[in-house]
Amino acid sequence: MGGDFGPRITVPAALDALRRHPSLNILLVGHQQQILPLLKHCDSALRVRIELLHAETVVAMNERPTFALRRRQDSSMYMALQSVAQGRAQACVSAGNTGALMVLGRGILQMLPGIDRPAITSTVPTAAGHCHMLDLGANVDCSAEHLLQFAIMGSVMLRAVERIESPTVALLNIGAEEIKGNEQVKLASRLLTERTGLNYIGFIEGDGVFSGEADLVVCDGFVGNIALKSSEGLARLISCKVRQSFSRNLYRRLLALLARPLIRELQQQLDPGLHNGASLLGLQGIVVKSHGGANHDCFGYAIDKAVAEAEMNIPERISKQLEHYLYPPIAPE
Amino acid sequence: MGGDFGPRITVPAALDALRRHPSLNILLVGHQQQILPLLKHCDSALRVRIELLHAETVVAMNERPTFALRRRQDSSMYMALQSVAQGRAQACVSAGNTGALMVLGRGILQMLPGIDRPAITSTVPTAAGHCHMLDLGANVDCSAEHLLQFAIMGSVMLRAVERIESPTVALLNIGAEEIKGNEQVKLASRLLTERTGLNYIGFIEGDGVFSGEADLVVCDGFVGNIALKSSEGLARLISCKVRQSFSRNLYRRLLALLARPLIRELQQQLDPGLHNGASLLGLQGIVVKSHGGANHDCFGYAIDKAVAEAEMNIPERISKQLEHYLYPPIAPE
């Protein structure tokens, strides 16, 4: 029900996901009066793989998360997460209120033992392809210990989903030298250096994220959110200037016509929608957050991400490997 | 002496600045053996407007700022700042170690009364032209009170240098709603709302910086530095993809040739060098930091910025208006 467009986008995207993933079944959680009309013309082979769970209310985009947890037990978000907690679904995908999704996720699914807070992770385009970054906004204040937990969760996920044997981990900082940064980042760097199981490569600066210096970039949620949104903002500004520049006169408009396949190719390569679907790591269940403004295709990527995580059973993997990382075996002298 | 290229860039840029600003005089502070050869072919009308102050050492780029303050009193940076403190120069421009410049600036020039910490500010391109952002890396941890001081200093500077009557001020945050953000940001928002003299418009997100939602964007130095460097990183990634895309085949290389004026125009519009020259606000003197990698032209922009601030006597203006802002007159009921 969430996001800027609600079921109008999420239901058709769900139907397409069923076509892409033959073993997938989908539980649509929301108001039946809005959902049923969208399933009317759905072919019967797909229809049997869909269940509908009616929810009377929705969590509003500006609702306080704690209010949603206490008072919105009949909301689509609450009931979708509950269906994961009850084992009725293996993953939850939502385009709704991020803060509420996190607080409800934490309240309903519970944290993995040894993890204090969930973290939001997503892929970011780089020169080499893409990297993962976390946290992207779940936690506005993080201790060094939290950053360490993020690094462990991210590494386990990258190993499973991206099949990178030993993902490189970096801490986002305002300089590469050891003396740079705030206390949390400096202490986190020391903790990460001591963890023999992690492939920690040190600090990287903001621009290092996009040059692909690390497979996993760890930061607190305040910084991560602002880094990502700022760069999206500049990318949008550039694209706007390009459009203006190409439409200045007839010659340039002709040039734009000739360059259209090239421009489209670039847009595809750099489309933030391709990276839609942020995972909430650290919960005892899989939750993927779609961008609120996602269109049909982009919401589909978020579903694909949830499918991949469910196939790899990410929460169980994190849980199993956590103890090993938090208390590394003593290396022989 | 500082930056990636030292006097090879800074001296010719200084000579050009003398040509642009007929009433300017320049004091070159550094090792005479490196500087004198660069002045050999300088025409005599310019040469009389240059003084040379010999400094035996330099502050290294990775030197600890506190070490530089205690042990590098014969360095070019120390002596340049000292010449400002002594009134021998009205402003100092450096491409050297930022941390050292800040700590030395604070130690040698002293803070303005009522200001706890210097803040680094610079312009950022926006859809509307540009905005100013601070702090960009001087302070890794900031209290709400510090953020308020930054807002005041920035507003005074914008009013003087940019001649904006009532500059709009926003706080950088992870959401526009009041409940979003960390404690410092929430408290700073309350403090800013109470200051009647400031045109505070509330929170903006990372992408709002580049869409030009505010004239002045206030944040702590850790966040500001990472936001700026991240967006620069993404811009570089985009420009690299564009180059790759235009060189893929003969047809596209031809297209690139046709589009060259357009591409050059875009590069000029978005050139981060245009925004070179970050001011250290809050000191009892003018200090402008150039990017270490600045070329001749870009270092020139940093000098121009210092000239503009000296003409406007920014530190004195901040000092005068500070009391008014910190203790606003009580408005009639």
The answer to whether B122 and B279 are in contact (CB under 8 A) is yes
- Could you read off the pLDDT of A317-326 as tens digits, one per residue? 888 887 777 6
What does the pLDDT read at residue B199?
Answer: 94
CB contact under 8 A, B232 and A206: yes
The continuous run of DSSP H or E covering B280 comes out as strand B278-281
Residue B163 distance to chain A (closest CA, Å): 25
Cis, bond preceding B116 (omega within 30 deg of 0): no
For residue B137, the chain A residues in CB contact (below 8 A) are: 174
Residue A273 pLDDT class (50, 70, 90 cuts): low
Give the DSSP per-residue string, A56-74. Answer: SB---TTS-HHHHHHH-TT
A-facing residues of B in 231-260 (CB < 8 A) are 231-238, 240-242, 245-246, 252, 255, 258-259
- Could you read off the pLDDT of B134-154 as tens digits, one per residue? 999 888 889 999 999 999 999
Q: Which of A135-149, B236-250, B317-331 has the lowest mean pLDDT?
A: B317-331
Residue A12 distance to chain B (closest CA, Å): 29
CB contact under 8 A, B230 and A232: no
A-facing residues of B in 177-196 (CB < 8 A) are 177, 179-183
**Across residues B199-228, what is the average pLDDT?**
94
What does the pLDDT read at residue A333?
Answer: 47
Q: Which carries the bigger pLDDT value, residue B327 or residue B16?
A: B16
**Across residues A133-158, what is the average pLDDT?**
91
Residue B288 phi, psi dihedral angles, 5° rounding: -120, 130
**Across residues B114-126, what is the average pLDDT?**
90
Instruction: Find residue A92's DSSP bridge partners.
Output: A287
A-facing residues of B in 115-134 (CB < 8 A) are 125-127
Q: Do B138 and B247 share a domain, yes or no?
A: yes
CB contact under 8 A, A232 and B137: no
Site from B174, B213, B242, B268 to mutate, A interface, most A CB atoms within 10 angstroms? B174
Q: Do B96 and B152 share a domain, yes or no?
A: no
The answer to whether B192 and B151 are in contact (CB under 8 A) is yes
Q: Do A264 and A155 share a domain, yes or no?
A: yes
Residue A127 pLDDT class (50, 70, 90 cuts): confident
For residue A61, the chain B residues in CB contact (below 8 A) are: none
- Averaged pLDDT of chain B: 90
How far, in Å, CA of B220 to CA of B139, rounded? 6
ipTM given for this complex: 0.85
What does the pLDDT read at residue A140?
Answer: 85
Q: What is the DSSP letter of B51?
A: E
A168-172 and A129-134 beta bridge pairing: unpaired
Q: Do B141 and B193 share a domain, yes or no?
A: yes
A-facing residues of B in 289-328 (CB < 8 A) are none
Print burial letters for B91-116: b (CB count within 10 Å at least 16), e (below 16).
bbbbbbbbbbbbbbbbbbbeebeebe
Residue B89 pLDDT class (50, 70, 90 cuts): very high
**Across residues B237-258, what is the average pLDDT?**
85
Residues near B328 by beta carbon (within 8 Å), at least 6 away in sequence: B194, B195, B196, B197
Q: Which amino acid is at A55?
A: A
**Across residues A277-282, what is the average pLDDT?**
93
Q: Do B110 and B150 share a domain, yes or no?
A: no
Q: Which amino acid is at A322?
A: L
Q: Do A128 and A270 share a domain, yes or no?
A: yes
Site from A226, A239, A243 to mutate, B interface, most B CB atoms within 10 angstroms? A226
Q: Do A225 and A268 share a domain, yes or no?
A: yes
Domain with A145 in it: what CATH number?
A: 3.40.718.10
**Burial (CB count within 10 angstroms: exposed 0-12, middle 13-18, buried 19+), residue A20:** exposed
The share of chain B scoring above pLDDT 70, in percent, equals 96
Residue B93 phi, psi dihedral angles, 5° rounding: -115, 130
Is the sign of the CA dihedral A32, A34, A35, A39 positive or negative? positive
Q: Which of A91-95, A218-222, A238-242, B201-205 has the lowest mean pLDDT?
A: A238-242
Q: Do B56 and B19 share a domain, yes or no?
A: yes
How far, in Å, CA of B257 to CA of B246, rounded? 9
How far, in Å, CA of B279 to CA of A268, rounded? 39
Is the sign of the CA dihedral A107, A108, A112, A113 positive or negative? positive
**Across residues B6-22, what is the average pLDDT?**
96
Q: Do B104 and B223 share a domain, yes or no?
A: no
E-strand ranges in chain A read 26-30, 50-54, 91-94, 119-126, 129-134, 168-172, 199-204, 216-218, 278-281, 286-289
CB contact under 8 A, B210 and A228: no
What does the pLDDT read at residue B268?
Answer: 77
Q: Do B135 and B255 share a domain, yes or no?
A: yes
CB contact under 8 A, A226 and B233: no
Q: Which of A17-31, A266-280, B309-323 has the lowest mean pLDDT?
A: A266-280
Candidate from A126, A183, A241 with C-beta closest to B237: A126
**Burial (CB count within 10 angstroms: exposed 0-12, middle 13-18, buried 19+), residue A177:** middle
CB contact under 8 A, B179 and A209: no
**Across residues A31-38, what is the average pLDDT?**
96
Domain boundary among B226, B245, B275: B275
- Could you read off the pLDDT of A184-216 as tens digits, one per residue? 999 999 999 987 789 999 999 999 999 999 999
Domain boundary among B232, B252, B275: B275
For residue A62, the chain B residues in CB contact (below 8 A) are: 177
Whether residue A11 has pLDDT greater than 50: yes
Candidate from B179, B231, B255 with C-beta closest to A230: B231
Q: Which carries the bigger pLDDT value, residue A263 or residue B97?
A: B97
How far, in Å, CA of A63 to CA of A20, rounded? 34
The continuous run of DSSP H or E covering B31 comes out as none
Whether residue A289 has pLDDT greater than 50: yes
Residue A22 pLDDT class (50, 70, 90 cuts): very high
Q: Which carries the bigger pLDDT value, residue B104 or residue A129?
A: B104
A286-289 and A278-281 beta bridge pairing: antiparallel
What does the pLDDT read at residue B209?
Answer: 93
Whether residue A111 has pLDDT greater than 80: yes
The answer to whether B147 and B181 are in contact (CB under 8 A) is no
How far, in Å, CA of A50 to CA of A47, rounded? 5
CB contact under 8 A, A64 and B228: no
Q: Which carries the bigger pLDDT value, residue A26 or residue B241?
A: A26
Q: Which of A179-188, B14-23, B129-138, B175-184 has the lowest mean pLDDT?
A: B175-184
Residues near B147 by beta carbon (within 8 Å), at least 6 away in sequence: B171, B184, B185, B188, B191, B192, B218, B219, B220
Q: Do A64 and A85 share a domain, yes or no?
A: yes
The share of chain A scoring above pLDDT 90, in percent, equals 64
For residue B221, the chain A residues in CB contact (below 8 A) are: 174
What does the pLDDT read at residue A326?
Answer: 65
Whether residue A120 has pLDDT greater than 60: yes
The continuous run of DSSP H or E covering B30 comes out as strand B26-30
Whether residue B54 has pLDDT greater than 60: yes
Domain that residue B85 falls in: 1-115+282-332
Q: Do A155 and A184 share a domain, yes or no?
A: yes
Question: Which tokens is B202 given?
Answer: 């509330």
Residue B272 pLDDT class (50, 70, 90 cuts): low
CB contact under 8 A, B233 and A208: yes
Count structural domains, chain A: 2
What does the pLDDT read at residue A252?
Answer: 85
What does the pLDDT read at residue B257?
Answer: 86
